Amino acid sequence: MGKTQYKKGMKKTCPRRRIAIALLLVFGFCAVEFPGILLVGDKVSPFIFGMPFLYGYLICCWIYICLVLCYAWKTRWGKQPFFKRRANPPSSGTD
């Protein structure tokens, strides 16, 4: 694949998808490291998926991060669209 040649004074643009992926990942990692979890970490009474709250919360956060990483991998970190457009179906010839 050829690389894009940038003329002097042209700025390289960052696609919105890349920024969105970065923000979603930062949000996910901040949710995992949320310090407020220490307030409810020793409580067992609320259950998520049959597990104590802390374990269920962390598993949900990691599932979220894995989904964002799969999206980023599929789009080559925002360089390509997630869904590829299909070519028009061939005509049947009975116009």
- Domain coordinates of the chain in residue numbers? 16-74
Strand partners, 51: 48
Average pLDDT, rounded, for the chain: 78
Query: Residues with Cβ < 8 Å from 43, sequence gap 6 or more?
Result: 52, 53
pLDDT per residue as tens digits for the range 61-92: 999 999 999 999 988 888 888 777 776 766 66
Rounded to two decimals, the pTM is: 0.67
